[in-house]
Amino acid sequence: MDSRVLQTWELSLWRGTEEGRFASYQVPCRERQTVLDVVTYVQRHIDASVSYRFACRVGMCGSCAMTVNGVPRWTCRTRIAEVAQGNRIAIAPLSHLPVIKDLVCDMSVFFEKWTTAGGAFVPTPGATDNFAHIPPDHAARRAADAAIECIGCGVCYAGCDVVGWRPEYLGPAALNRAWTLVNDARDGAGAERIAAVAGDAGCHACHSQQNCTRHCPKHLNPAASIAGLKRRAAAALWRGGS
Amino acid sequence: MFAASRFHARNHSNYWAFMLHRISGVALALFLPVHFWVLALAAKSLNGFLVWAHQPLVEYAEAGLVLLLALHLTGGLRVLVLEFLPWHNWQKTAIAISGGVSLGVALVFMLNLT
């Protein structure tokens, strides 16, 4: 899509809460425009009552995720020309989360699930006495490293069909976080965390569809993290754990 | 409005593998009771059943069933590999192997028909 030959984007923007409708706007095309740029244009030049979230605009904060033409994406790093169908673009809030207004979701459930999955680091007794010695090439360290860069944008959660089918499912992001801590030698809550993620709504609910891995804007692999948790949970069961 | 884009969001090999595994499982669940029922009938009047079962359409349908069984079996093995072996980026390879083996089994079955 070459934006130079287009004059305007035909934008459909979700307005309202759970009950709402798509409203149409026309936004002038610019070079290297992002989806977030277009939403911002609407808010600043057409209708100031449009609600949406963003902060850093450079793919660090994870606050600007939306559903763009049916696909969950971070909007600040998504060029509109790469995802528009012709000059048409539909922007909606993330799926599987309550809509507060327009493009703003209530992320509470999403982050509560991080807590439920044991997402908080629990230091081992004596951990403050000295630095932990963890070689950079240690297998557990590498596993944690591969999953640690999550920005909590909720794209994987919105893209996961299992979350849609079973709203109590902890979801890819929370389980991915748990996997980083399971691989953290300094953490002292390994058994409790495995018990927390091995329930009905935990890692075993995953069908390995791998939409999470497909859509993660940071190119993380939550599906691999969840598979890792499944192996740890099975091993704990084999050893006679919970 | 989003039907096409809903498809686009899921149009990748791992989701196809999931769908094939699920559809073959449901199809087998529907087929197997009928299969056992026919077996029970066949025990009573085997000759009549064998004549029926040798119609070309029935035989090709059987090849489809063999394909479903093979897809569900190899798809299940793929899931076991995915969940119990350390993660490797061989997902597409695993899907290709399970699909290829299934097709091969179905084709060998069809060769045997002639």
Instruction: Tell me what ipTM this predicted complex has.
Output: 0.86
As a whole number, mean pLDDT of residues B87-101 equals 93
Does the pLDDT value for residue A164 go beyond 50? yes
Q: What is the mean pLDDT of residues B99-107?
A: 94
Inter-chain contact A227–B82, Cβ cutoff 8 Å?
Answer: yes
Ranges of H-type helices in A63-160: 80-83, 108-116, 139-147, 155-159
Name the closest residue on chain B to residue A203, using Cα atoms. B83
Residue among A22, A72, A208 minimizing CB distance to B14: A208
Q: How many CB atoms sit inside 10 A of residue A205's CB?
A: 18
pLDDT digits (tens, 9 = 90+) for A42-76: 999 999 999 999 999 999 999 999 999 999 999 99
Residue A116 has pLDDT above 90, yes or no: yes
What is the nearest CA distance from B2 to chain A, expressed in angstroms? 6
DSSP state of A25: E
Kindly report, residue by residue over B55-83, the tens digit of the pLDDT.
777 778 888 899 999 999 999 999 999 99
Greatest CA separation for chain A: 66
Domain A3-105: give its CATH architecture: Roll (3.10)
What mean pLDDT is predicted for residues A115-136? 89
CA distance B14 to A169: 20
- Write out the residue limits of the CATH 1.10.1060.10 domain(s) in chain A: 108-238
pLDDT at position A145: 95
**Neighbour-count burial for B18-55, b at 16+ CB within 10 Å, e otherwise:** bebbeebeebeeeeeeeeeeeeeeeeeeeeeeeeeeee
Sort A14 into a burial class: Cβ within 10 Å, 0-12 / 13-18 / 19+.
buried
- Domain locations in chain B? 15-113
| DSSP type of residue A4 | G
User: Cα–chain-centroid distance for residue A166?
Assistant: 17
Query: Is the pLDDT confidence value at A235 over 70?
Result: yes
Model's pTM, two decimal places?
Answer: 0.91
Query: What is residue B1's predicted lDDT score, i.e. its pLDDT?
Result: 47
Q: How far is A145 from chain B (nearest CA, A)?
A: 15
pLDDT value for A3? 47
Identity of residue B11:
N
Nearest to B15 among A69, A90, A211 (CB): A211
Query: How far apart, in Å, are the Cα atoms of A180 and each of A142, A236, B5?
Result: 10, 17, 32
The Cα of B91 is separated from the nearest Cα of chain A by a number of Å equal to 10
Confidence class for position B8, pLDDT limits 50, 70, 90: confident
Look at the domain A108-238 and name its fold.
Fumarate Reductase Iron-sulfur Protein; Chain B, domain 2 (1.10.1060)
Q: Mean of the pLDDT values across residues A30-51?
A: 97
Structure tokens given for A45 = 């030049």
Given a cut of 80, whether residue A102 has pLDDT beyond it is yes
A57, A47, A4, A46: which is closest to A29 by C-alpha?
A: A4
* pLDDT level of residue A127 (50, 70, 90 thresholds): confident
Q: What percent of chain A has pLDDT over 90?
A: 88
Has domain B15-113 been given CATH number 3.30.450.40?
Answer: no
Radius of gyration of chain A (CA): 20
